[in-house]
Each structure stands twice: as C-alpha cells, then as structure tokens.
Chains A and B, each alone.
Chain A
C-alpha cells in the first residue's frame, strides 16, 4: 500500500503542496480541508507522544479525552465531549474559514458528531484503505470467512439513524481489528451516508454510499477467493 501512497501523493499534492501529503486524492462527501483537519485531530486523539512526533509538533490530547468519547452511545452525548469540541473548533476556525460549507450548522454538528464517535474507535490506519475493503478481507485463521458477513454488511448499508450508524460502524471497526482503514475514508463514508439521509443523492449511482461500500467489500472478497484457488 505504501507504493500506492507514494504514487497518490504527487497527484493530490498538485496545488496543495502542504496538505496534499496527508490527505487522499478523492472524496465523496468531505472537502480537502475537512479531511486534513480530521486526520490531524484523530492523530492527536489516538497516538501517543512518540508516534505523534513523526507527524506533528503538537502534543496528543490527554487519554481521558478519547475514553469519554468512546463511552458515548448517542449523538447528543458526543456533542458534549471535549474531544468533539476540539474537532469542531479545528473545523470551524480553519477548514470552514477557507471554504464556507453549504450545509446548515445543525446538520454539520450531527454529521461530525457521528464521525467523531466512529473515528475514535479506530486505532491504527492504512492510508487510502476504505472500510468496505477491510471488511471484505479474509478473517485471519479462517477458511473462507470475511471479516464481516454478508448479512451484517447489509445491515450496515441499511442504517436509518445516526445512533444506529454509530453502533453498527463501531461494531464493524471491531471486526476490522480497529485498524487497516483510512480515517478519512471512514469519515467520508459517514458524511456521504448522512448526506443521503437528507435526500441528497448523487446523480451517478456509482458515487452513492451503498455502491461505494459494497463495491469495495466485494472487490476484496473476490480477490481473496481468487487467491485461494
């Protein structure tokens, strides 16, 4: 994957010399700046001092910040956490200063609360790796079982509320060993899902939540079974 990362960098970096290096090239629902701030925040949230030094001069948040966020099961409780406040502030003071968002404040709070609640479960990330792909990979030490079963995956696509999404995505991340997924891709899917909840579907079916997720999932599954033959 590191090769891909290196390849992807120069493409994303065009005109964005400073930020391009840390953000994936294409997003369905996030802006470039949002993705950048999110990753920064997430690193400070989950990494320890030593690891974070590789990326940033900033210090990590205290451990309790993440712990409180992880204990929240509803959107409302997430909004009250210190972690969410950090994220919101970063977005508002930087990302949305440069490019004012088109959605209402209420909608944004809800979207980002869910993102925060889901993203804090991720411990380690793989650049550019979508969640669907990770879930479709073979579970270690099994014959032909994917990390997440068909049925569960279908439920994942079928969430109807933010709280349900938090629960199901956290469950999905657990099956993914809380790693091997890009935090930006993860948040991008949450934001895309949220947008579609408000009825704003993309015209191209291939750019919609259910397709993007399942395409990655089945692609990974197909690869695995091909390798098994």
Chain B
C-alpha cells in the first residue's frame, strides 16, 4: 500500500459526502476538510498533508509562496509533484516501509496493535489492573489506513516511555498551532497552504536547504539503516539532518505485522482484508536533542535570561487552552516572558505584510489574511498517560512589527485584570462555602476555567478591536476608553453571575444563619471589589479604570458610596 497513490484518507466534500481519496485530493476545490474517526488522527492527518506539501512543493521564497497561493495546483499537478517521493511512502512490502524500521525486528516479541495508540493503557497498567478509565481491549483489529495514521500520530507525538523508549522531536504530546482562514467555506487547499513555509524560512540555524529526495536518509530516516541511540553521542541534532526532517521525525522503532484474516477495523469500522493486529516495537530509536524548533509548535524559554538553555515546546495543560495562553501562542517575546510562538505563526505575519505590499502595488489579492484563526490542538499528557485532548480555535491578529510591543502590553493588561478577578472570585467563593476558608483544601481551578471560558468571547472581541487600532500605522496608538470599559463590564458581569450560580443557586430557606451571613458578606465584598468602591478593596478596578481612562460610574456604585460616606 502506497500512501501517496492509494485512496486512504477520508475527505469531506462541499456536498457533505465523505470519500476516501489519495492525499492529492487536497487540491480538489470540492474538498473542504478531512474527516478522520479520531481527534488526534484529524490533527495528525492535517500535519501529514502539510508535511507532504512542504516536501513536494516547497516554495523558494515568500514571493513564490504568494504565486502558489494565487494559483493553486490541480490534482494532477500535485500527483505529479508527489510521484518522485512514492518510494518513501510504502506502508508494507519488503523494501523500506513508511515510518517503520528497515530491520524486520524479528528478535523482539510481538505486541498488540493497541500500543500504537497514545490513549491505550501501557503494559504495566494492564499487569497491575489499573486501566480504570481507559480500558484495555478496545482496539484489537486496525485497517492499514488507520494503522498508517496511528503510526504517524505516534511518531509526531511520542511521549517519553521509560529507558530507551524515545520521546518525539518536539517533546511528548506537544501543542500544534495551525493557521486557518476565517472563511470556513474555503477549500482545504486554502487552509493548508498558509501553513507551508518557503525554503528560506523553513530551516533552522545550521541547516542548509537542498531539494528533498525520496532516498534521502537524512530526510526520511526509514529509508536507511535505523539510527540507534544506545550510546552517548548518537543524539540527533538539527544540523545533522535535512531542514524538512522535523515534519517526518521518527523517534520510535516499529514494524507493523499484516494479517491474512480479514476483519473489521475497530477505529473506523470498515471491513479490511489485511488488517494489522500485532506489531513489533524496539527501544532506542532516534534520540532527538539540541535546539529543535518544529515549525508548527510554539516553544518557550523557562528562563529568558539563560539563552544557552534549550527552549521547551508548549504542551497541553490541565485547565485547557484559553485566551490566557493567547499571547504566548502568537506574540514573540523571547526577552521577557520567553514566549516563542510557532515559526509558522511568526512567518505568517511576514506573509501578511507581503500580501499587503502586493495589494498596495495594485495586484489583486484576496484580503484573506485580515481575518485568520489559529487552531491549537494537542494532548495533555502526564508522562505516558494522556489526561485529555484539547482543540481550540482562536483569532489571529496580525499587527505591524513596530506595534507588537504595544499589543503585548494591552493584551497583558486585559488578561491581568481577568486573572485578578478570578483570584478574588475564587477567594470569595471559598469564604461563602467554608467556615474556615483558609483551611479548605481542594481544587478550585474549575472556577478559573469557568470564568475564563465565560469571558472568552468578550476578550476576542476586544482583541479584534486592538488589532484594528494598531493596523493603521499611527505613531502613538491608543486604546479607546470604550474598549477598556466594555472589557471591565464583561468581566464584572461574569464574575458576579458565576458567584451567584456557585454560591446561592440552592434554596436559601432553612439554611443556617452562619451560612447566610458568609454568603451575603462574601457577595458584598465581591461587589465592592468589582465596583471599585472603597479605597483598598476597589484598588484593582480603580487602577484599571485610570489606565484605561474611563469613568467608573453606575447608579449602584454612586449609592453605595453615598451611604458609606
């Protein structure tokens, strides 16, 4: 089975039909999206297609990228571009196999195919009977199509699995950020191409560009003898490999074993004549080390002052992904917070400027880049165990480079206010719930999560307005008091209604007086805090109002001040 010519990927078409077609179908204007049976497969399949485009038709520079953007290739042209790489994408057979070991690994024991899925319980979990939530035995038979994608998913996300079981090139369970046009009716091509980088930007320092070839063992590791990492000094560093290798990294050694007994795939439900039920896996695959910066993954420096420390890839975290994380995913800030957005995002801003310039020259470009979204997804891993899968879309605001600093300041100001509000909200909820709040234990983070989720829309609205303010390149951009005020009011409203829902949604009759006293006094405190009344309590809000230069006046606050005086 060849992954470039066989119809093995399910595509969603404009008329809603889902059809299995070869990867080149991505150039069909009727194709809107992929439709994989699992969320992590969906993310992996997108990256597979981006990697294919990046390998087969890397544009020389941003100009070439733009030309391609204007005139997409036909399906036939794409097939033609992919053809030279066919040898590297054979899933079975006796030659090199896609993302598998060249060696048949006959000396290792066979293992069930479920081991290829990140969310399967490990061997130890099965031995100790600890597969409480993620059960064993869910997946026993897998069709070759799903097996190929499972293999790719594992190789790009591979978590560290103990001695010799290597972690992926960008760490275990990394986040991926992709750029999507706002318009959902765009064909798949228009959503994949923005994530392709030109040859002069895709590589990392130390790498030199050369045209990719199917038999390049420094691009596709599976085409030659496996790089084994049993000794020191066998680590794979960025400068040793092809600039595009990051897309085809292979930290694990696997061999899929194809069965003769037909069966039904446990993942997609289709009948298959040669399913995969077992595989062989061996330790000590490629051991990635050094300053890797995968183009699709955001990184950060833990300590921005120590430039010799390696940047770490951002991972999914308990609590999910929200606008709290937005600055770190979009705005480069290596010096202060250490945020290093994915290189595709940073480069997107460059593309954005080029499109602007081309439009100013009178060329007819779609203004698609005015409105783009950022699709962030990835596992939340606890070592080998996945805690969850996150997939979020956020707006992507492009501003001129000179104004990035200002945008970062503004965003920080807004996010900080929200964080301060959650802090007080959480404390006052504790005061309402417990007799001795300082001794109350327990995880209150769900309050934060709820608050951030509830205010997300307001934030992105504010963000869009910030972007619009900064787009006109004036010398001293200022954010209008109205935007400040709206953000403040939205936060205040959500904080109060969240408190009410959490603290006083039950019947109050029959409650003990101490309870009622706690609830009412916590609510009064919260209200005073949110209204900015009182010298000490209202400090946060007063400061924000001062910075944003808007008036903190509403009928209720006026009255409160009056009676307090």
Tell me, in angstroms, the Cα distance from A211 to B507 when the chains sit together: 10
Tell me, in angstroms, the Cα distance from A158 to B508 when the chains sit together: 10
**Is A150 a contact partner of B513 (Cβ separation < 8 A)?**
yes
Chain-A contact segment, one of B85-93, B282-290, B376-384, B556-564? B556-564
A65 at the interface (CB under 8 A from B): no
**Given A4-B559, A204-B500, CB of A158 within 8 Å of CB of B524:** no
Interface SS, A side: helix
B523 at the interface (CB under 8 A from A): yes
Tell me, in angstroms, the Cα distance from A190 to B504 when the chains sit together: 21
Interface SS, B side: helix
* Contact partners of A157 in chain B: CB under 8 A: 508-509
List A111-166 residues whose CB lies under 8 Å from chain B. Answer: 150-151, 153-154, 157-158
A219 at the interface (CB under 8 A from B): yes
0 or 1 for each of B486-520: is its CB under 8 Å from A? (1 = yes): 00000000000000100011111111110011001
**Given A158-B510, A215-B524, CB of A7 within 8 Å of CB of B558:** yes
0 or 1 for each of B6-46: is its CB under 8 Å from A? (1 = yes): 00000000000000000000000000000000000000000
**Is A151 a contact partner of B513 (Cβ separation < 8 A)?**
yes
Tell me, in angstroms, the Cα distance from A158 to B504 when the chains sit together: 17
Minimum C-beta distance from B179 to chain A (A): 42
* Contact partners of A150 in chain B: CB under 8 A: 513
Tell me which of B508, B512, B520 contacts A219 (CB under 8 A): B520
Q: Which chain A residue shows the least CB distance to B525?
A: A222
B521 at the interface (CB under 8 A from A): yes
Tell me, in angstroms, the Cα distance from A210 to B516 when the chains sit together: 9
* Contact partners of A222 in chain B: CB under 8 A: 521, 524
* Contact partners of B510 in chain A: CB under 8 A: 158
List A191-220 residues whose CB lies under 8 Å from chain B. Answer: 204-206, 208, 210-211, 214-215, 217-219
Tell me, in angstroms, the Cα distance from A4 to B513 when the chains sit together: 29
**Given A4-B563, A205-B500, CB of A214 within 8 Å of CB of B521:** no
Minimum C-beta distance from A127 to chain B (A): 13
Minimum C-beta distance from B294 to chain A (A): 49
Minimum C-beta distance from A197 to chain B (A): 11
Tell me, in angstroms, the Cα distance from A210 to B558 when the chains sit together: 25
0 or 1 for each of B524-552: is its CB under 8 Å from A? (1 = yes): 10000000000000000000000000000
Tell me which of B512, B520, B558 contacts A211 (CB under 8 A): B520
* Contact partners of A210 in chain B: CB under 8 A: 507-509, 511, 516
**Given A4-B562, A154-B513, A204-B500, CB of A218 within 8 Å of CB of B508:** no
List A1-56 residues whose CB lies under 8 Å from chain B. Answer: 3-4, 7-8, 11
**Is A205 a contact partner of B504 (Cβ separation < 8 A)?**
yes
Minimum C-beta distance from A9 to chain B (A): 13
* Contact partners of A205 in chain B: CB under 8 A: 500, 504-506, 508
Tell me, in angstroms, the Cα distance from A150 to B508 when the chains sit together: 15
B233 at the interface (CB under 8 A from A): no
Q: Which chain A residue shows the least CB distance to B515?
A: A214
Tell me, in angstroms, the Cα distance from A153 to B511 when the chains sit together: 12
**Is B562 a contact partner of A3 (Cβ separation < 8 A)?**
yes
* Contact partners of A218 in chain B: CB under 8 A: 516-517, 520-521, 524
* Contact partners of B559 in chain A: CB under 8 A: 4, 7-8
Tell me, in angstroms, the Cα distance from A7 to B557 when the chains sit together: 13
* Contact partners of B137 in chain A: CB under 8 A: none
Minimum C-beta distance from B60 to chain A (A): 62
Minimum C-beta distance from A92 to chain B (A): 32
Q: Which chain A residue shows the least CB distance to B555?
A: A11
Minimum C-beta distance from A182 to chain B (A): 14
0 or 1 for each of B169-195: is its CB under 8 Å from A? (1 = yes): 000000000000000000000000000
Q: Which chain A residue shows the least CB distance to B564?
A: A223
Tell me, in angstroms, the Cα distance from A8 to B505 when the chains sit together: 30
**Given A205-B508, A210-B516, CB of A215 within 8 Å of CB of B555:** no
**Is B516 a contact partner of A214 (Cβ separation < 8 A)?**
yes
0 or 1 for each of A40-79: is its CB under 8 Å from B? (1 = yes): 0000000000000000000000000000000000000000
**Is B517 a contact partner of A211 (Cβ separation < 8 A)?**
no
**Is B509 a contact partner of A158 (Cβ separation < 8 A)?**
yes
**Is A208 a contact partner of B508 (Cβ separation < 8 A)?**
yes
Tell me, in angstroms, the Cα distance from A206 to B562 when the chains sit together: 22
User: Considering residues A158, A205, A208, A222, which has the most beta carbons from chain B within 10 angstroms of its beta carbon?
Assistant: A205
Tell me, in angstroms, the Cα distance from A217 to B510 when the chains sit together: 16
* Contact partners of A153 in chain B: CB under 8 A: 513
Minimum C-beta distance from B497 to chain A (A): 8
Q: Which chain A residue shows the least CB distance to B499?
A: A206
Q: Which chain A residue shows the least CB distance to B517?
A: A218
Minimum C-beta distance from A148 to chain B (A): 11
Tell me, in angstroms, the Cα distance from A218 to B506 when the chains sit together: 19
Minimum C-beta distance from B154 to chain A (A): 49
**Given A3-B562, A4-B562, A4-B563, CB of A215 within 8 Å of CB of B509:** no
**Is A214 a contact partner of B500 (Cβ separation < 8 A)?**
no
**Is B520 a contact partner of A214 (Cβ separation < 8 A)?**
yes
Tell me, in angstroms, the Cα distance from A179 to B91 when the chains sit together: 90
**Given A4-B562, A4-B563, A211-B508, CB of A206 within 8 Å of CB of B513:** no
Tell me, in angstroms, the Cα distance from A44 to B500 when the chains sit together: 41
Q: Which chain A residue shows the least CB distance to B514?
A: A150
Q: Which chain B residue shows the least CB distance to A157?
A: B509
**Given A157-B509, A158-B510, A222-B521, CB of A206 within 8 Å of CB of B558:** no
Q: Which chain A residue shows the least CB distance to B524?
A: A219
Tell me, in angstroms, the Cα distance from A50 to B406 when the chains sit together: 69
Q: Which chain A residue shows the least CB distance to B513?
A: A150
Minimum C-beta distance from B304 to chain A (A): 45
* Contact partners of A219 in chain B: CB under 8 A: 520, 524
Tell me, in angstroms, the Cα distance from A11 to B512 when the chains sit together: 37
Tell me, in angstroms, the Cα distance from A3 to B562 when the chains sit together: 8
Tell me, in angstroms, the Cα distance from A206 to B524 when the chains sit together: 12
Minimum C-beta distance from A209 to chain B (A): 8
Tell me, in angstroms, the Cα distance from A11 to B562 when the chains sit together: 15
**Is B504 a contact partner of A206 (Cβ separation < 8 A)?**
yes
**Is B500 a contact partner of A206 (Cβ separation < 8 A)?**
yes
**Is A214 a contact partner of B563 (Cβ separation < 8 A)?**
no
Can you list 6 pairs linking A and B with CB atoms under 8 Å apart? A150-B513, A205-B500, A206-B504, A214-B516, A221-B517, A222-B521
* Known contacts A4-B562, A7-B559, A214-B513, then 15 further A-B pairs from the complex at CB < 8 Å, ordered by chain A residue: A4-B559, A151-B513, A153-B513, A154-B512, A205-B505, A206-B500, A206-B504, A208-B508, A210-B507, A214-B517, A215-B520, A218-B516, A218-B521, A219-B520, A219-B524
7 A-B pairs with least C-beta separation: A210-B508, A205-B504, A150-B513, A214-B516, A215-B520, A218-B520, A218-B517
